[in-house]
Amino acid sequence: MIFWIIIGMSFYNLAKRFNKNKFAYLAIGIGLALVVQLIVGLLYGVISQATEEDLKRDSLMVNIIALIVSGIVTYVVYKYLLKKGEQKENEMYDNIDNIGTEIKDENI
């Protein structure tokens, strides 16, 4: 639960920083973490059925691995959105700095 709160607040603050829809970013962050955990669990289930291992024996380890993998994937998406937002912010400031520099003197 704390894991999802941290992810949700990180994405919420990211959206707030770049004036985006806060709840959409919150849903992206938490939803992404949950989907990745679900995929890891499903993959474990398929692999364990194919190898005929006992599912209950390693359930704690699967949960820990799913949390780690979802944390990594969510962090990568967070960094991507952060970089994308900073690039747009820098482009906006570059455009503001270039105002008036492209005026040509018509008398020459």
Q: Would you say residue 103 lies in a domain? A: no
99-105: average pLDDT? 57
First to last CA, the chain: 69
Q: What is the pLDDT of residue 78?
A: 93
Q: What is the pLDDT of residue 80?
A: 94
Q: Would you say residue 87 lies in a domain? A: yes
Tally of structural domains, the chain? 1
Q: Would you say residue 52 lies in a domain? A: yes
Q: What is the pLDDT of residue 88?
A: 79
- pLDDT for 76 beyond 60: yes
Range of the domain at 91: 2-96
Q: Would you say residue 102 lies in a domain? A: no
Q: What's the rounded Cα separation, in Å, for the pair 23 and 29?
A: 10
- Tens-place pLDDT, residues 79-91: 999 998 888 777 6
Q: Model pTM? A: 0.73
Which tokens in the block code for residue 48?
């364990």
Which tokens in the block code for residue 27?
């849903």
Beta-carbon contacts of 24 under 8 Å, excluding residues fewer than 6 positions away, are 15
Q: Would you say residue 66 lies in a domain? A: yes
Q: What is the pLDDT of residue 18?
A: 87
Q: Would you say residue 108 lies in a domain? A: no
Q: Would you say residue 105 lies in a domain? A: no
Report helix angle 2-17 to 59-97, nearest 10. Answer: 10
- Tens-place pLDDT, residues 12-69: 999 998 888 889 989 999 999 999 999 998 998 888 888 876 666 677 888 898 999 9
Q: What's the rounded Cα separation, in Å, for the pair 33 and 55?
A: 22
